[in-house]
Amino acid sequence: MLKEKISNHTARYGVIGMGYVGLPLAVEFAQVGFPVTGFEVDKSKVETLNRGASYIDDVPSTRVAPLVKSGKLGATLDFDQLAQMDVISICVPTPLSKTRDPDMTFVEAATREIGKRLRAGQLVILESTTYPGTTDEYVKDVFAKTGLACGRDFFLAFSPERVDPANTKFGVKNTPKVVGGVDAESGALSAHFYAQAVDRVIPVSSARAAEMAKLLENTFRSVNIGLVNEVALMCDRLKLDVWEVIDAAATKPFGFMKFVPGPGVGGHCIPLDPFYLSWKLRSPNYRARFIELAGEINSEMPNYVVRKATDALNDAEKSVKGSRILLLGVAYKDDVADMRESPALDIQRLLEEKGADVAYHDPHVPTFRGGHEGHGPLYTSVPLTEQELKRSDLVVVACRHKAIDFGLVAKNAKIIVDSRNAYPQGKPIPGSARVVRL
């Protein structure tokens, strides 16, 4: 019986997609004794993992190596092994198309791979963020073609990933896990499974409720980031320091949650997930106005940063064209290497379009290929040296990485456009750099 296998940790666990979501999840379950197999289409990830090494910043190789050595964790390119799994999680990307419609290619491919090999007694859990109805409409329908009955022969649920890269306080184990089954039996079995490795499980009434909860989480963040970014624009017009205003408001012990502005939003969730919800609501003829407005404001922030840079250079009697500009950070957030949807890339592109000579320094991203879908020129991080800073006409702080020496930057830069509050108002700044705050 599957529940008994889960209880004694002998259930074989397969994770499709061993990226920033799948690998931490696999490691956590292997850590408590489950035999875990990661399924990948990327050969390099499989080889790296099977050597006992990690390619995810939040998962050190010191955790991976002993699990691989003990046989509790491994990876494979062979999807036929899915038939041997008792529990399967789908942890694949769910990007948006160019028209901001959900791109379900990866979920559909994973579902088909499982469907070819689905057998009685298996539990399948979708973790990829998606629109309400995906699990009990699309995934269930694919599996139903096998002739097996959901809730009797196999079990199906949705449990949204809640990974926050570079968060040293919350990880898979201590972040509450929301779980919703397509039916009651599937929900109960999934909750029981996660309870083996996660401190707190939050069962909800359905897979749709769990799907909606995930979209609410990220829509909440997107809308509030959009609000505080608009406040930054307002404060600029009113000649106020937005960071001082936010810090003052944040002293209220109730009714206020602190969000901070920045050069835009990026990553795997905030710029994308709310549009899954607005797309789903097109059918009932409902316009998600908050989502669309927040998206407009957040996507405009790179242009705002570039305008700040342009004005700062004009004040120094320089044009953007021909100026050497150093971009500090190309990742989407502080202390990560993830560049997906990074606003820093928009800033770089906009400056280059204006004729600037743009270099970048990012200790987490030694190289990257620009252009659409990485088909453009190869960029290499320059060393952060006194010479590099002095030859730059302007520095843009796009990330506040801990590994960046902002004291060195202030001592040697001429002009700094600070979009991350690396140089808070009121604190002394070494050197003579002119700092332009967001």
Rounded Cα–Cα distance for residues 370 and 83 (Å) = 40
- 326 phi, psi to nearest 5 deg: -105, 120
Residue whose tokens read 């689905």: 118
Q: One of 91, 150, 235, 269 is an active-site residue; which one?
A: 269
Which residues touch 117 (CB under 8 Å, ≥6 apart)? 79, 80, 82, 83
- 327 phi, psi to nearest 5 deg: -100, 120
428: helix, strand or coil? coil
Residue whose tokens read 């259930």: 11
123 class by beta-carbon count within 10 Å (0-12 exposed, 13-18 middle, 19+ buried): buried
118 contacts 148 by C-beta, under 8 angstroms: yes
* 179-196 core/surface letters (b: 16 or more CB in 10 A; e: else): bbbbbebbbbbbbbbbbb
Q: What is the CA radius of gyration of the chain?
A: 24
Handedness of CA 245, 247, 252, 255 (dihedral sign): positive
Catalytic residue check, 150:
no
Cβ count within 10 A of residue 120: 11
232 class by beta-carbon count within 10 Å (0-12 exposed, 13-18 middle, 19+ buried): buried
424: helix, strand or coil? coil
Which residues touch 351 (CB under 8 Å, ≥6 apart)? 306, 309, 320, 325, 327, 358
Q: Catalytic site residues?
A: 269
